[in-house]
Each structure stands twice: as structure tokens, then as C-alpha cells.
Structure 1
Amino acid sequence: MNTIFLMNSLWVMLSTILVIFMMGGFILLEAGSTRMKNAGHIAGKTIFTFGLASLAFWAVGFGFIFGDHANFLIGLSHFFYSGYEIEGMNLSTSIFFLFQLAFAGISITIALGGFAERAKLSVYLVFTALFSALVYPVVAHWIWGGGWLAEHGKQDFAGSTVVHLTGAMAAFAATLILKPRIGKYNRDGSTNNIYGHNQVYTALGVLILWIGWFGFNAGSTLSVDKGFFGFVAINTNLAAAAGTVAALIISWLVLGKSDVSTMLNGALAGLVAITASCAFVDTWAAVVIGFIAGILVFYSARFFEKKKIDDPIFALSVHGTAGIWGTLSTGFFATPELATVGKPGLFYGGGFEQLGVQLTGVVVSSVYAFTVSFIILIIIKKGLNGLRVSAEEEAAGLDISEHGSYGYPEVFYKDKVTNIKEKKVSFFSEQKG
């Protein structure tokens, strides 16, 4: 066993830990972006859905993506992975398996953002298993597992399409079927802002995700050879920085205030956008890609709001719109020296060929992820007698209705005690009167 094999294995294991720790970022991001009465539910479902997705990926997902005897859609071996080594890999296959599992976990977490504050716990369970087996692995095989898009030179280094856009399209399907949260839109068409309960949690979640993204993108080199992962990390950070600044500026210009949630979404949009192109573009292009993503996420969120599509954690804009832009960006900015997959982009003399491949990948992956997710949800809806909790349960919050306890028990139980005391005082006052 040579030194480079061991170093590659160690680097990818460290990257795997960073990617899995991104779950902590999503917990804080989603909980902070939603209401206090659902915080415990969001934290808990993130953990159990990652556990369930891990089992589904172990059983069939890894084999569907990277299995031998592949056909047009999927691979057909390596099911129930048991730790064996696959020939031709310059790192431990077990560690590669864990790394890919972490990516699958991130994609389902993104998808479940479309369910926030209104879906039954049982729906999360069934959808997670089916998405992790039938949706994510198919798109991943097409692009990363030697499938037909890979054969055409589709560029998606770390998953703007495979992970983010796939998850976002599933979230889109869920958002349409579940419909908006109670109180979000009025009969006259006006909109009510439903603010998240803790902006500090949201900001800390974004920072954790930002750090985790170094494992996500730089770890996707799968190698320490020549230190190229450092270049990928620089591009990742520059795009995130540019997205943050662009979102702050555009919100300030349009709204007259530098909106904090927009700024945070800009950072994430920059990260999502550079995920496809981080290994294929120069540093100046990474700044441009991130900056454009920060502007796009602002207008995308406003577009969905006008269309009465209730997206509590902005999954459609952050992971969908930015994922599309990031995937297309290599068709413009991929350089001849860095385009180890596919061809150079339009601005480097490559013409429209690579851009056409990127656009094809976006369209077919989006259509597949949305359609299959929509069908799965319709089947689940009939099988479980609905996807959504009752109006009473939604009003009470999913913490208490789905789990029997509050994420913030001191706050809610204190309110109950206060209400009881107020009723007693009112009763005795009436008796004395």
C-alpha cells in the first residue's frame, strides 16, 4: 500500500467528516429560518432522515450509481456494500463509499426543505427512502457513474446538478403538492411574512455550511496529488464571498436595507453555483460566478413569493436557481487547461458545444427529479391518507403534534402556566365582583 494511497484516503475521510458535519449547519439554518414551535422537529428529522438515507444508499444507492453492468439508467452491482475494494481506485473504497453517502445525505436534506412546517413525519420517512433509492442515484449515475451524460462530457465537479438541483426539484414537487403554510397568503392575494425565530442560528448554520463546503468541493478531488484541492478551495471561498457581497448590495439597492437573510442566502448561492465549476475555472471566474449567483438568489426568491410558492428555507432559489446557474457557468468559463472533463467554455474558444451539454444536463436532470419525486409524493399521499398534518396540528406546531414535546419547553410550558394563572385571576376577580 503506497503513501499516496494512504494520503488520499486520509484526505477524503477528513472531507467526509466535513460534509457530514454540514448536517449541523442545515439543522441551524432550517430551525432558525422557521418558527420556534417546529424547531425540535426540524432538528430531529434531519438526523433520522440522514440515518435512513444512509441505509438506503448502502443497500442500493451506491450500486445504482457506481455498479458494473450499467445500462442507460443505473449500475447493477455493488449492492449492500460490505467493505470490499474496487479495482483502479487510488484510495480506500470504504472511504469513497462514505464520501458518496454523505453527498446523498445532503441532497435529501435539501429536498426535505420543501416539506418544512407542514408535512407528516411518516411522509419524511417514506419519501427519504424512495428518493435515496430511485431519484438521487439515477441522476448521480448519469453524471458521475459513467452514465450517458458523463459520456457526453457533462461538467459537474462536486454536484451543482447531482446534489443541489436534484434536491431542489424534489423540494419543488413537495412545495406544490403540500401547498403554502396556513397564514402565508391572504385571500386578496397579499403575502404575510412568516419570520424565522432565530437569525443567529441561521447565520451560524451558514458559516458551518461554508466550512463544510471545503470538504464538499475540495474533497471531490479525491486526491492530494499536486495540491490541486487547494486551488478548488480558493475558488469555493471566493465564490461564497462574492455571493455574500452581491446579495447584500442588491438587497440594499432594491429594499433600502441590507437584508440579513438575503445576505446569508447569497453566501449559500455562491457556494452552490461554484460547486459544478470549482475545478474547471480560473479564480476571477469564480468571483463572477458567485457574484451573479448572489444577485440571482435575491430575484429568484422574490419571483417564487409572487407566484405564491411557499418556500420557507429558500431551497428552490439557493439550491435550484443557483444550481442551474452554476451548472451552466462551466459552459462559459471552463478553461482549456482545467477542463479535464468535457471541453472549454464559450469564452475560451470552445463555442456553444459545452454549454449545450450543460443545458441538456440541467433539463433532463430537473425533469427526472421533479417528475419522479412528484409521482412518489402522489403515491404516498394516497397511501398515508394525505401528506400534511391537520390545521390544528400545524397551528400547535410539529414539535408537540408529531413528537409530543417542544424544542423550547421552557418557553411554551411557561406560556401555558401563565395562561392558567391569568384565567384563575380572572375567575376570582369575577367571583369577588
Structure 2
Amino acid sequence: MEIFTTNNVWMMICTALVFFMHMGFALLEIGLTRQKNTINILFKNIFIITVGLLLYCLVGFNLMYPGEFNGFIGFAGFGLDAPLTTEGALDLTYNEGFTYWTDFLFQGMFAATAATIVSGAVAERMKIVPFMIFTLIYVGLVYPIVGSWQWGGGFLSTYTIGETEGFYDFAGSTLVHSVGGWAAVIAVWLLGARIGKFNKFGKPEAIPGHNIPLATGGVLILWLGWFGFNGGSVLSANPELTSLVLVTTCLAAAAGGVVSMLVSTVMFKNLDLTMFLNGILGGLVGITAGADQMSPTDAILIGAIAGALIVFAVSLIDKIKLDDPVGAIAVHLACGIWGTLAVGVFGAKAGVDQFLIQLVGVGAYAVFCVVSAFIIIFALKKTMGIRVSEREEVEGLDAHEHGMDAYSDFRLNEH
């Protein structure tokens, strides 16, 4: 009983850390965008976590963990129904590491993250109501369905090639980050670029964020939150494994930041702090799929490759004329894919078969998420429109969507 209590307390601490990550996302997004859209971004982030938790309670948790099902989609019923003993008390044999209630809350914090990734990518030009509708569907249905394929005991958890069984994603490089990343790609494509992002020759122009100190604070909060994101995914307070996970997580983050800084400096001839920050996040996303299986050296290599990948992915996204104000696609999609495949290169069952299983998993998530996101966002575009008017975009979403100003005493004329 004492060990169970220790495990449960650790899981609740990790839940709090993952919750705190939403503060990090909010600060990062507002810092890397313009002042006139601050309220809009904060509103979306608050909406995501509040509505996300309610949706996960009503349908998401039982879609993601349906019990016995066909491996593709199952549903255990609406609402939460904790297992009870014959005496009516909470059945503590539900899980050897934590209670049913802790399980729900920890997983619920993950669910909202997928929509938060999209929030940053579509910043400064998407109407608030269509975004809210998208969040309802994507967090309420799409995320838990694809989550069930692996974490819920679905078909990917037993998918076999040769003698190797099971797609592996420890804490969500694909199940969380790429799920949000694929939706971000579709949303950005259907929205189009912000006014002024590409000049008349089609070349990208920098649109600076209004508060880089806030963005820096946001990244450090996210790094701290990843202690819960990955550390809690051990699903117990196992001292050896939890310690290893925190070490690999930190080393990958550090390597990602340093390599991103070095590569971007060589390519662009300036010490770009925003690229440094996104390199840290890329390293964190990259290690998330296999943080429990990697040695410190493996973690540094995975993070370093993720850091370099960030720089090239950002350049590629600009070249194909997609406008992602915060680099969400490069961080969460590109590094999410890399981290998932890295399990087949560095993980406990590394080899051709495991790599191919990981590749199949990446492909399955890509197809389902791309198709789902396209159907949702394209339907919204054709029915109610998803982009604000040119005047609203130039003058700012805060004034037109919310009738508020984030910094009323320090108003700047932004155009």
C-alpha cells in the first residue's frame, strides 16, 4: 500500500507538471507573434485545456481505453465509471501504479496538447469560432481514436514484422506531437499565409514576435513540464527508470538546442535565439518516443539530429510557402516522426523489423490525421469560413474577435 501511494503521488505530481506545460505553450505562442493578437492566442489556449478536459471526461477517455475492442475503434460508454470493489470502495487493483482517477487526469492533460500545437501554427489569421469547433472534434474524437491504436491496446500495439512485435511510442512523439503536427499542416495549407509573410517575389519575410523574453520563459516552462510528460509515462515512481527518463529527456533537449543554434548560425550567419529555443523543443519531442530505452549517448544523438532537423524543416516550410508563426510543424511533426523512427535505430529492439513497424505506425497516423483534419477544416472553410478579413488581420484579432487589448497601457500602432 505504501508503494502504491508513492507511485500515485508521483503520477499526480507529473499530472501537475503536464498541466503547467499549457502555460509554457501560451507564453511561447504569444511571444513569437504580434502584440495585437495576444488575447486571441491566450483565449484559444484556455479554451483548449478547459473544453479538452470536459470532452476527455465525457467521451475521450473511454474511446482511448475502451477495453476489449476490434483494434481500430471502440467505446466503453459516456462519462467516467471507476472500478469499485464489492463493498463499493474504489478498486485499487485497477493499476499497480495509480488510481483510476489519476489515470484519467494524467491522460487528459495529454489530450489537450494536440490542439495546442495547431493553435500556434494558425495564429494571427484564423477565426476563433471555427478553431473552437475544430478543437471539439479533434480533441473529442480524432485524438482518442488514434491513441487507442497503441496506448489503448489497439492494432499497432500488436503489429508484427518478422519476429518483432509492437509499434512503440513511450510518451507520444507520434501519438501526441505528430497527431497535432499533421493537423497543423492541413490547417496552415487551407488558411494561407499571413499578409506580408511572402513578398511579391515569393520570398519569405520575417514577422518578428513581440516579446521574445516571454517566448524564452515559455520554452523553459515546457522543458520543466516534460519532466512530467516523460517522467509520468513510466506510470510509476520506479526510481531507476524514472531517473533514466529524466536524464535522457534533459540531454536530448540540451543537444537539440545547441545543434540547432550551431546549424542555424552557419546557414543564416546570425545567432538566432528563436531557432535555439525551437531546437530545445525539437530535442524534447524527438526523445519522447523512446526516452525509457535510450542511453545518455543515444539521447544526445537523437536530440542533436532533431536540432539540425528543425533548421532544415523551417527552411523547407518557408520554401513551400506554408506560414507557421511559431515553428510548430517543424518541432512537433518533423521531430515527432524522427523520434518515432529513432526507436527502431537506437531502442531496445532496434533493427530493420522494428524500424519498419515504426514506419508503418507513422504512416497510419499520417493518413488518418491528414484525412480527418482535412475533412473538418475544409468543411468549416466552405460553410462558415476559417480566415478573418484583411482588415481584421491588419488591425489585430484582439480588437475584432474579442474587443480587448492585452496591454492597454502600452498600446503600439502595429500594421
Please give the TM-score of this superposition, normalised by the length of structure 2: 0.94
| Partner residue in 2 for 1:54 | 53
Q: Which residue of 1 aligns with 2:4?
A: 5
From 88, 95, 109, the counterpart of 1:89: 95
Please say if residues 283 and 306 of structure 2, whose CA atoms lie closer than 8 Å, have aligned partners that are also in contact: yes
After superposition, the C-alpha distances for 1:106-158 in whole angstroms (9 at most, x for unaligned) are 11111222221111110121011100122111221111110000112111000
Q: Do residues 24 (structure 1) and 30 (structure 2) align?
A: no
Aligned equivalents of 2:94, 2:55: Cα separation in 1: 25
1:282 aligns with 2:295: yes
Conservation of the 8 A alpha-carbon contact between 2:11 and 2:237: no
- Mapping for residues 1-150 of structure 1, pairs under 5 Å: 2-84=1-83, 88-90=94-96, 91-150=98-157
* Counterpart secondary structure, 2:289: helix
What SS does the aligned partner of 2:206 have? Answer: coil
Contact in 2 for aligned 1:22/1:209 (Cα 8 Å): yes
Query: Does the 8 Å CA contact 1:103/1:163 hold for their aligned counterparts?
Result: yes
Query: Cα–Cα, structure 1 residues 188 and 210, in superposed 2: closer, same or farther, change >3 Å?
Result: same
Tell whether the 8 Å contact from 1:41 to 1:407 is kept in structure 2 after alignment: no
What do the CA deviations read for 1:322-342 (whole angstroms, capped 9, x no partner)?
00000000100013xxxxxxx
Q: Quick check: 1:154 aligned with 2:160?
A: no
Asked if 2 retains the 8 angstrom alpha-carbon contact of 1:240 and 1:267, the reply is yes
SS at 1:411's partner residue? Answer: coil
Structure 2 partner of 1:370: 370
Report the equivalent of 2:162: none
1:83, distance to aligned residue in structure 2 (A): 4.4
Q: Percent identity?
A: 41
Moved more, 14-23 or 225-234: 225-234
Aligned to 1:167: 180
Amino acid at match of 2:333: G
Deviations 1:24-57 (A, max 9, x none): 0001100000001001211121011211111111
Map of 1:191 onto structure 2: 204
Structure 2 counterpart SS, 1:144: coil
| Structure 1 Cα separation of the partners of residues 6 and 270 of structure 2 | 48
SS in structure 2 at match of 1:409: coil
| Partner of residue 163, structure 2 | none
Runs of 4+ in 1 over 4 A off after TM superposition: 82-87
Measure the CA separation in 1 of the matches of 2:229 and 2:400: 35
How far is 1:226 from its partner? Answer: 4.2
Tell me the number of residue pairs that the alignment of Structure 1 and Structure 2 aligns. Answer: 400
1:82 CA displacement: 4.4
> How far apart in 2 are the matches of 1:268 and 1:229?
20
The 8 Å contact of residues 18 and 211 in structure 1, kept in 2 or not, is answered as yes
Aligned residue runs from structure 1 range 333-344, under 5 A = 333-335=346-348, 344=349
Q: 2:258 matched to which residue of 1? A: 245
Q: CA deviation at 1:381?
A: 2.0
Q: Counterpart of 1:395 in 2: which secondary structure?
A: helix
2:33·2:210 contact (CA, 8 Å) conserved in 1? yes
Task: Tell me if structure 1 keeps the 8 A contact 2:253–2:303.
Answer: yes
TM-score by length of 1: 0.90
Assess if the C-alpha contact under 8 Å between 1:50 and 1:105 holds in 2: yes
Q: Which residue of 2 aligns with 1:431?
A: none
The 2-side partners of 1:68 and 1:381 are apart by 36
Contact 1:174 1:377 in 2 (8 A): yes
> Cα gap change, 1:164/1:248 in structure 2, threshold over 3 Å: closer, same or farther?
same
- What amino acid does structure 2 have at the position aligned with 1:210? W
Distance 1:69 1:383 in 2: 38
Q: Deviations over 1:144-194 (max 9, x none)?
A: 110000112111000000000000001111001101011111232122211
Asked if structure 1 preserves the Cα contact closer than 8 Å seen for 2:57 and 2:80, the reply is: yes
CA deviation string 1:365-410 (max 9, x = no partner): 01111110110111222332x0011111111111111100111112
CA–CA separation in structure 1 for the residues paired with 2:397 and 2:125: 8
Say if 2:179 and 2:365, in contact at 8 Å, map to a contact too. yes
Q: Does structure 2 conserve the Cα–Cα contact (< 8 Å) formed by 1:345 and 1:354?
A: yes
CA shift at 1:105, angstroms? 1.1
Distance 1:227 1:3 in 2: 18
2:350 equivalent in structure 1: 345
C-alpha distance in 1, partners of 2:338/2:113? 19
* Alignment check: 8 A CA contact 1:49 1:124 kept: no
Residues in 1 aligned to 2:106 and 2:17: alpha-carbon distance in whole angstroms? 10
Q: Unpaired segments of 5 or more residues in structure 2? A: 84-89, 160-165
- After superposition, the C-alpha distances for 1:233-283 in whole angstroms (9 at most, x for unaligned) are 000000000001101111122222221111001000000000001011111
Tell whether the 8 Å contact from 2:255 to 2:307 is kept in structure 1 after alignment: yes
Q: Secondary structure at the match of 2:311?
A: helix
Greater fraction of residues in helix: 1
What is the CA distance between 1:10 and its match in structure 2? 0.6
Q: Shift of the alpha carbon at 1:97?
A: 0.3
Match of 1:271 among 284, 297, 305: 284
The equivalent residue for 2:317 is: 304
Counterpart of 1:405 in structure 2: which amino acid?
M
For structure 1, which runs of at least 5 residues remain unmatched after alignment? 336-343, 347-351, 417-433
Is the Cα contact below 8 Å between 1:242 and 1:290 reproduced in 2?
yes
2-structure distance, mates of 1:415, 1:388? 22
Within 2, Cα distance between the matches of 1:33 and 1:70? 43
